Structures are given as structure tokens and as C-alpha cells.
Amino acid sequence: MKELLRTNNPVYLSFAQALLADEGIDAIVFDAHMSVLEGSIGALPRRLMVSDDDESRARWLLARAEPLPPVEPEPEGTP
């Protein structure tokens, strides 16, 4: 297995998994079962792994995917 990406961004991780699944590439998330505290503070990134045979195609797909728009922070005092 090869590490395809490492991220603290659950939205990007979900996007990458869906993109790869649509193309028939199996991807496994490592570090998904860490403690709630570690995951919620973003201290430990999760890793998306693919088989050695799928690595180059998966990297190609992610490189050509549209980038995610930046997330705007909520203004302070927003309920």
C-alpha cells in the first residue's frame, strides 16, 4: 500500500475517497479510529492509502481534480 495523501481536512479526505471510488480505485483511510480528542483538534492527520498498482492513476486523478474552494471562517459572535 502507498500513502496517497495525509490531511487533517475531513472534507478533502471525503472528496478524494469519492473521486477514487467513482474511478474504481479502492482507498483505505488509516488513522480513522483515533480518539475523539486527537481527531477533533486535528493533531494527527489521517492518511489515504491505495494499492501499489493504483498509485500513479490515483495521483493523476487527484492532481487534475478541481481544487476545493477555501473555507471562510465564521465571524466571531455568530451563533
* pLDDT computed for residue 41 by the predictor: 61
pLDDT tens column, 43-62: 678 899 999 999 999 999 98
Q: Kindly report whether the global pTM for this prediction surpasses the value 0.75.
A: no
Which grid coordinates are listed for 16?
478524494
Q: Is residue 78 part of a domain?
A: no
Q: Is residue 46 part of a domain?
A: yes
pLDDT tens column, 21-37: 999 999 999 877 665 55
Q: Are strands 2-7 and 27-30 parallel, antiparallel or unpaired?
A: unpaired
- List the strands of the sheet with 27-30, edge to edge: 2-7, 46-50, 27-30
CATH number for the domain spanning 46: value is 3.30.70.790
Distance, in Å, from the CA atom of 24 to the CA atom of 76, rounded to the nearest integer, reads: 42
Q: Is residue 29 part of a domain?
A: yes
State how many domains the chain has.
Answer: 1
Distance, in Å, from the CA atom of 18 to the CA atom of 41, rounded to the nearest integer, reads: 24
Q: Is residue 74 part of a domain?
A: no
Q: Is residue 69 part of a domain?
A: no
* pLDDT computed for residue 34 by the predictor: 65
User: Can you give the residue range of the structural domain that contains 55?
Assistant: 2-64
Q: Is residue 41 part of a domain?
A: yes
